[in-house]
Structure 1
Amino acid sequence: MGSTSSWPPLSKILFLLNLGYHLAHASEKYISAIGDPGMKNPNVRVGLEAWNFCNEVGAEAPKMGSPRLADCADLYCPLIVDSLGCTAKCEVHHKVNESDNSLGAGNEFPETGFKPYTDPDLFAVEKELYLGSLCEVQDSSNPWHFWMIMLKNGNFDKNTTLCPENGNKVSKIITGRNFPCFGEGCMNQPLVYHNYSTLVSSEDQTVSLAGGFYGTYDLDADLSKGAGKNSYFSISWKKNLSTGSWIFSQRLTTSSKYPWLMLYLRADATEGFNGGYHYCSRGIIRKLPESPNFKVKLTLDVKQGGGANSQFYLLDIGSCWKNNGDPCDGNVLTDVTRYSEMIINPATTSWCRPDNLVSCPPYHVSPTGEKIYRNETSRFPYSAYHLYCSPGNAKYREEPYDICDPYSNPQAQELVQILPHSEWAVHGYPEKKGDGWIGDPRTWVLDVGALSSRLYFYQDPGTKPARRVWSSLNVGTEIYVSPAGVTAEWTVSDFDVLVPEHVTTSYDGFY
C-alpha cells in the first residue's frame, strides 16, 4: 500500500460521492406522493384541527363541538340533453354536513366503528377518523382524505396539569420559562365558523367551488360586527382558473389575550402518526417522503408578515423517531417529535452565534458532506441557523445545550430552525433575507430531501441512524408572543410533494 499522503482529502471523496449520487439520480422520474397533486383536483377536500398548547383539546369551546371540522365537496356537472342541445348543469355534493361538524365529546357517531368518548382529547382523535371516512377518496389502492388546516393557541396555564412535561404526566408544573396566559381558561379552543363550499362561475362561465373557515379565540367576540380588537383567523379556497390549482388564502391576527397563535396548511400522512401527534390521524400524503429523496413544490405569496416575531415557515417538516433511531410507537416517554423549519421573515435573527453556542447544533454538514463543528468560529455558518434545541429526554447531549420546550408537544421534541443562506440555496431554498417575502411571490421547488439529510438531529451514541421519514409538511406562520393586532396574510397554491417513481415507502414497519 502506498503512502496515504497522495490520497485526496476526505472532503473531496465525499464531494465526489455526492456528485456521483446526484448524477445517478438526475434523470430519475419523480411522481407526486399526495392525493391532490399540485392542488388541481376540482373537488374540495379540506379538514380543520385546532389545538391547545400541548397539541390536545383540553376543553371544547361553547356550542362549537369538538375542534375537528371538514369541508369535502364534489363538483358534479352532468350533461343535460334538451331541444337546444347538450348543456352541463353543475351541482355541489357535500360529503360532510353541519351535524357531522358539530359533533362533540360524548356524542354518538352516525356510523358504527367510532367510539363516542367523553374525554375531549380522545373524542377529537375519533372525530378526525370519522370525518376522514366521509371525505375519503378511493381513486387508487391508496385512499386519501384532505388537506389539513391547523390552528394552535400558544397560551399555557402553568397552574394546570393539562400538558405533560416531555411526555411525563406531572402533578405540578415547576419551570422558569414564561408563557402567555390571561388567567383561568386561557388555553381555550376557538369559535369556528364555516362557509361551506358553493358553486361560483367566472366571466367565461367556468364553474368551480369556493369556501372557507373563519373565527376567533376571543370567546366573547361578536364577529358580525367585524374582528375589532379580537384575535382572528380565516382560511378560504378558490380555484386559479388559469392554472387549475387551489389558492388557499390565510389570515391570522393576534389580540391582547392571544398574543401567540399559529396557522398552518398541512400535508399530512393518510395514516399513522403525523408530526406532533401520538395517535393515528388522516391526511393527503400517500407515499411517505424520506431523506434524501424527495422534493416539495409550492407557490407562496406573503401579503402581510405578522410583525417581527412572526416565524413564517416557507416549509416546516415534521416526523417522529426515538433517540435510539427506532420508529415511534406511541410511547410518549420515548418518542420524540423532530421538526425542521425554514423561517423567511427577514426580521428573524440568528440566535446561533459564536457567543451563544447553546443555540447552535453541535455541527453543520456542508453540501460536500464535511462536518464543521460549532466552535470552529471561522468556518461554522452561524447565520444559517435561527436556533437548535435538544430533546428533553436525550441522555447524551453535548455541552453546551438547550432543551426544547417540554410542554408544547405530547412528547419530547427537537427543533432545527434555519434561515435563508447560501448553504441551503444549493437545494433551491432562499439564499438571502427578503427572498420570497412581501412583494416577492415565488414558486419554489425545494430539494427538501437533500437538505434534511444534512441537518443534525440528536441520536444516542452507537445506535443505527434513524430513517428520516417525514409525515407532515407545513406552510404558515407562528406569530410568537406579539403585540395585539399584528396580522399575517398569505396565499399558498401549486403545493406538491414529489418522490422518485420507484419509492414504495409505506406505513408497514415504520409507524
Structure 2
Amino acid sequence: MALVLLTLINLILLVHGIEGSPSSHLSAIGDPGMKRDGLRVAFEAWNFCNEVGFEAPQMGSPRAADCFDVSSKCNKADRKYQSNNTIGGYSLIHKVSDLDNKLGIGMEKPGIISESALQNPDLYAVEKELYLGSLCQVSDKPNPWSFWMVMLKNGNYDTKSGLCPQNGKKVPPFTQPGKFPCFDTGCMNQPVLNHGKTNLLEDGHTMRGWFNGTYELETGGISYYEVVWEKRVGIGGWVFKHKLKTSTKYPWLMLYLRADATKGFSGGYHYDTRGMLKTLPESPNFKVRLTLDIKQGGGPNSQFYLLDIGSCWKNNGKPCDGDVTTDVTRYSEMIINPKTALWCNPKSLHNCPPYHTFRNGTRVHQTDNRRFPYEAYHVYCAPGNAEHLESPVGTCDPFSNPQAQEILQLLPHPVWGEYGYPTRLGDGWVGDSRTWELDVGGLSSNLYFYQDPGTTPARRIWTSVDVGTEIYKDDEAIAEWHLSDFDVLIT
C-alpha cells in the first residue's frame, strides 16, 4: 500500500510540478526574467493593418535592433561594432551596426534583401527583421532566439488609401467618415525613430539605451514614444521604461514589449518573424511572471494590458498557414485601467462572449443573468469570416489585422482570482506596483473562442505574449510604465 501511495505521489508531482521545483520553472524564453547582461532588443512599427505602407523620410525600414554582449576584455574580431566607451574594465560588443538599422527600400543587401522586396516597404521590413534576427541570434535549447520586441502601432486609417484588406481580402478604396481617425492623406505614416545605442555610464556598471521618436514628421514632439532600458552589470535585471503620448493628429497609438515566436507567425503577423519565445507556450501548461509599475495611466481610453496573448488558428481548428482569407488572429487581453467602460452587460449581449466557463468547468450562457459574470469582460468580438455565429454577436474590426481577428478583453473580477489575475478594479494600477504570477495557460484554456461546429478543437499555442497599452482615440493622453522580471514559465 505504501509503495502504491508513493508511486501515486510521484506521478502527481511529475504531472503538476511543485512550486519552486525545476519541473515547474522551465522558461519558454531566451532571457528568463530579463536577467541576462547581454541584451537583445528590437523595434518594429506598424500601420493600422500591421504593415508598413510607407517608410518615413530618411528613417529606413521601421525595424531596428540593439544587441550586444558584455565583455571584460575587448574581442578584437568584434571591434567594428564595439561601443565607444570601455569603462570599469567592461566593454559592450554590439552585434548590429548603425548602417544595418538604417536599411530601407532601394538599399541593396545581396543574399539578405530579395529583388521582390527592394521597392516594397512591407516585404522589405519582413526581410530586414529576419536579417537583424540573424545578427542578434543566441544559440540555445530547444531553439535559438533573437530579441525582445518593442512594438509601436499607429491606429490612423485612411480608407481611401486602399492599403488595408477586409478580413484578409483586398478591397478597393472607400469612404467611411468618422469611424477611423485620419487627419488627411498621409495619416498612416511611419514615425521618426531615434536610437541611443546601449552604453556604459560613467559609474562603470550601469548600462542604458533607448528608442524614441514622434509621428509628427513636419513639426515633431507632439505625439511621442520612448522606451529606455537600464541594468547594472552582473546585478539584478533589465528595467524597461516606457512612455507614450497621443496627439490630435495621432489619437490612437499602441506601444508594447513583446515576447514573440523565434520562428513562424507571431500574433498579428502573416509572415516569418523573430523573437524571444524559444518554446511556444500552450494552454493550459504555462504561467507568466512580471513586475509592472504604472506611473501614468494614459487617461480613460487607455486599454492598458497587464497581459496580451496572441495566436493564430483557422475557424476549423487547423493551424494558420499564411492564407489570410482563412487564417484568424486570436487575442486575449486583460485590461487593468479601472476607468474602462463595461461594454459587456445584460443589455448589450453582443459585446459578451456566448459562454463563460468557470475554473471548475461549469459553463454558463450569456443570457443567464444570475450567473454570467458580465463585469469580468470589457468586450468580445467574433471573427468576421466565421460562418456559424450565435446571435447576438459583434464582429471585430475587419481592417486592423492582415486577416480576420477574434478578441476577448477581460477586466479585473473575482472569477479570475484563481488564476492569479487582479480581482478588483484598481489592482496593479497607478501607485500599486506589483509582481504578478499569472496562470495564463489555465485561464486561456477556459476562455471562449469561436470554432466551426463539429471540428476538432484547436491547440491553443500562443506565439506572442506582451505588456503595454493601446490608447484608443484620446487627444494628448500620456501613459508611462516600467516593466521588469518578464518570464514565461512552462509548468
**TM-score when normalising by structure 2:** 0.91
Tell me the equivalent position of 1:83.
none
Match status 1:487 vs 2:487: no
- For residues 22 and 181 of structure 1, the distance between their equivalents in structure 2, rounded to whole angstroms, comes to 56
1:72 counterpart letter in structure 2: C
Tell me the equivalent position of 2:79.
none
Task: Indicate if the aligned counterparts of 1:325 and 1:466 stay in contact, CA closer than 8 A.
Answer: yes
User: What's the CA shift for 1:108?
Assistant: 1.1
Report percent identity of matched pairs. Answer: 59
Matched position secondary structure for 2:448: coil
Tell me the equivalent position of 1:342.
334
- For residues 158 and 79 of structure 1, the distance between their equivalents in structure 2, rounded to whole angstroms, comes to 53
Task: Indicate if the aligned counterparts of 1:106 and 1:123 stay in contact, CA closer than 8 A.
Answer: no
Alignment equivalent of 1:62, drawn from 43, 57, 62? 57
Match status 1:286 vs 2:287: no
Tell me the equivalent position of 2:319.
327
In the TM superposition, structure 1's runs of 4+ consecutive aligned residues that sit over 6 Å from their partners are 20-23
- For residues 149 and 329 of structure 1, the distance between their equivalents in structure 2, rounded to whole angstroms, comes to 25
Tell me the equivalent position of 1:112.
111
- For residues 414 and 449 of structure 1, the distance between their equivalents in structure 2, rounded to whole angstroms, comes to 18
User: What's the CA shift for 1:29?
Assistant: 2.7
User: What's the CA shift for 1:79?
Assistant: 9.4
Tell me the equivalent position of 1:163.
164
Tell me the equivalent position of 1:497.
488
2:146 counterpart letter in structure 1: H
Matched position secondary structure for 2:236: coil
Matched position secondary structure for 2:193: strand
Cα deviations across residues 302-328 of structure 1 (Å, max 9, x unaligned)? 000000000000000000000000000
Q: Aligned ranges for residues 10-159 of structure 1 at < 5 Å? A: 24-27=15-18, 28-78=23-73, 89-109=89-109, 112-116=111-115, 117=117, 118-140=119-141, 142-159=143-160
Cα deviations across residues 64-114 of structure 1 (Å, max 9, x unaligned)? 00000111122111299xxxxxx96211111111111111012112x6243
- For residues 428 and 345 of structure 1, the distance between their equivalents in structure 2, rounded to whole angstroms, comes to 17
Distance verdict in 2 for CA 1:157–1:369, change over 3 Å: same
1:497 counterpart letter in structure 2: V
User: What's the CA shift for 1:172?
Assistant: 3.2
User: What's the CA shift for 1:44?
Assistant: 1.8
Matched position secondary structure for 1:164: coil
Matched position secondary structure for 1:237: strand
Cα deviations across residues 275-321 of structure 1 (Å, max 9, x unaligned)? 00000000010000000000000000000000000000000000000
Tell me the equivalent position of 1:252.
244
Tell me the equivalent position of 1:234.
226
Task: Indicate if the aligned counterparts of 1:240 and 1:247 stay in contact, CA closer than 8 A.
Answer: no
Distance verdict in 2 for CA 1:141–1:32, change over 3 Å: closer
User: What's the CA shift for 1:138?
Assistant: 1.6
Matched position secondary structure for 1:315: strand
Greater Cα shift, 308-317 or 192-201 = 192-201
Cα deviations across residues 103-134 of structure 1 (Å, max 9, x unaligned)? 1012112x624325111000000000011011
Tell me the equivalent position of 2:210.
212
Computed over aligned residues only, the root mean square deviation of the Cα atoms, in angstroms, reads 1.9
Matched position secondary structure for 1:358: helix
Tell me the equivalent position of 1:478.
470
Task: Indicate if the aligned counterparts of 2:96 and 2:132 stay in contact, CA closer than 8 A.
Answer: yes
- For residues 211 and 458 of structure 2, the distance between their equivalents in structure 1, rounded to whole angstroms, comes to 38
Task: Indicate if the aligned counterparts of 2:112 and 2:127 stay in contact, CA closer than 8 A.
Answer: no
- For residues 219 and 120 of structure 2, the distance between their equivalents in structure 1, rounded to whole angstroms, comes to 27
Distance verdict in 2 for CA 1:337–1:22, change over 3 Å: farther
- For residues 230 and 317 of structure 2, the distance between their equivalents in structure 1, rounded to whole angstroms, comes to 42
Distance verdict in 2 for CA 1:432–1:112, change over 3 Å: same
User: What's the CA shift for 1:21?
Assistant: 8.3
- For residues 285 and 409 of structure 2, the distance between their equivalents in structure 1, rounded to whole angstroms, comes to 21
1:487 counterpart letter in structure 2: I
Tell me the equivalent position of 2:81.
none
Matched position secondary structure for 1:379: coil
Distance verdict in 2 for CA 1:456–1:175, change over 3 Å: farther
Matched position secondary structure for 1:73: strand
- For residues 357 and 21 of structure 1, the distance between their equivalents in structure 2, rounded to whole angstroms, comes to 41
- For residues 297 and 455 of structure 1, the distance between their equivalents in structure 2, rounded to whole angstroms, comes to 20
1:115 counterpart letter in structure 2: S
Cα deviations across residues 32-79 of structure 1 (Å, max 9, x unaligned)? 010001001101211000000000000000110000011112211129
2:327 counterpart letter in structure 1: D
User: What's the CA shift for 1:177?
Assistant: 6.9
**TM-score when normalising by structure 1:** 0.88
Matched position secondary structure for 1:245: strand
Task: Indicate if the aligned counterparts of 1:44 and 1:209 stay in contact, CA closer than 8 A.
Answer: no
Distance verdict in 2 for CA 1:331–1:159, change over 3 Å: same
- For residues 13 and 386 of structure 2, the distance between their equivalents in structure 1, rounded to whole angstroms, comes to 34
Q: Aligned ranges for residues 430-469 of structure 1 at < 5 Å? A: 430-469=422-461
- For residues 152 and 199 of structure 1, the distance between their equivalents in structure 2, rounded to whole angstroms, comes to 30
1:439 counterpart letter in structure 2: G
- For residues 140 and 114 of structure 1, the distance between their equivalents in structure 2, rounded to whole angstroms, comes to 28
- For residues 137 and 24 of structure 1, the distance between their equivalents in structure 2, rounded to whole angstroms, comes to 30
Distance verdict in 2 for CA 1:249–1:136, change over 3 Å: same
- For residues 241 and 44 of structure 1, the distance between their equivalents in structure 2, rounded to whole angstroms, comes to 11
Task: Indicate if the aligned counterparts of 1:391 and 1:414 stay in contact, CA closer than 8 A.
Answer: yes
Distance verdict in 2 for CA 1:78–1:390, change over 3 Å: same
User: What's the CA shift for 1:139?
Assistant: 3.9
- For residues 177 and 371 of structure 2, the distance between their equivalents in structure 1, rounded to whole angstroms, comes to 34
- For residues 123 and 106 of structure 1, the distance between their equivalents in structure 2, rounded to whole angstroms, comes to 9
Cα deviations across residues 382-415 of structure 1 (Å, max 9, x unaligned)? 0000000000000000001111000000000000
- For residues 213 and 177 of structure 2, the distance between their equivalents in structure 1, rounded to whole angstroms, comes to 33
Structure 2 gaps of 5+ residues are 1-10, 76-86
- For residues 417 and 298 of structure 2, the distance between their equivalents in structure 1, rounded to whole angstroms, comes to 25
Task: Indicate if the aligned counterparts of 2:37 and 2:234 stay in contact, CA closer than 8 A.
Answer: no
Matched residue pairs, number? 464
